[in-house]
Amino acid sequence: MKYLITGANGQLGREWVRYLSLLDDEIIATTSEQLDITDLNSVRKVITEVNPDFVINCAAYTKVDLAESDFDEAMRVNRDGVKHLITACEDSNSTLVHFSTDYVFSGSEEDRETYPGGYPEDAKTDPINRYGYSKRAGEIELEKSTMDWLLIRVSWLCGSQGSNFVKTMLRLGREHGEVSVVEDQTGSPSYTFDVVEKTHQLLMKNLNGIYHISSGGEVSWADFAEAIFSERGQNTTLHRITTAQFKTITKRPSFSLLNKDKLEQNGIHALEWDIGLKRLMMEIKGNESN
């Protein structure tokens, strides 16, 4: 199999490169600088030349707060970029794998009551910020296409590469000895190694459509932070605060749990969030010692 990876310099793209390099497959990894998905001509040229079986799109605009003021750029990447990839993949008969987010849902308390086991793939989308809106716009482009595609929604993405909540907590804890974390927003982390492994399993099963990949169980950001410090043995004071006390530019969903029943129905079992954290912390520790 031949894979073309876009956004290979991000935390998810780097995980794909690491995972596929262990398999007997051909990998063409392009950073966002090497392949700008907002440039249709460049996208067509590269995909035509490579002619991959799978295009793994890890290129995305992910600056949640900045998207409020930089909305046009967020749409250029998260909607138009996806549209360009679809056009080129249709021409080359490649399967497109695209990643989206829990932010396409409202995360309301009403939804928490409606979906106590998490949002299923076919739940009504209703983003409450511009980042979520831009990601949903990319999903719509996929849903309109007639090609083979796989859309993976993740939440609270974190891995050993790049920046994320886990690494930020460890850094802030070391630098300040205390952190404040909201306790009234809940969900479940998606670990990059788990997302890549499970997405690859879906591809090998020739499955298409929308799937949710995150960990089993539900946890608040504050409880997640506490588990991070405990796992590291790091003596950091944790202040539990409410969303109202934590001032941010962007409104964030209070309920971000994704339902994984569709995965289970296809023989792919969710990794419990605390078990996944142990593996991630080992990977981070290994990177720090190298």
Contact in structure between 50 and 28 (CB atoms under 8 Å):
yes
In DSSP terms, which residues pair with 95 in a beta bridge?
54
Catalytic entry in 103, 131, 133, 211: 131
Least Cα distance to 105 among 124, 90, 84 occurs for 124
Residue 28 makes CB contacts below 8 A (sequence gap 6+) with: 2, 3, 4, 5, 50, 52
Query: Is 131 a catalytic site residue?
Result: yes
**End-to-end CA separation in angstroms for the chain:** 32
Q: Can you tell me whether residue 207 is helix, strand or coil?
A: coil
Residue 97 contacts residue 12 (beta carbons within 8 Å): no
Instruction: For the chain, count helices (H), then strands (E).
Output: 11, 12
* Residues annotated as part of the active site: 131
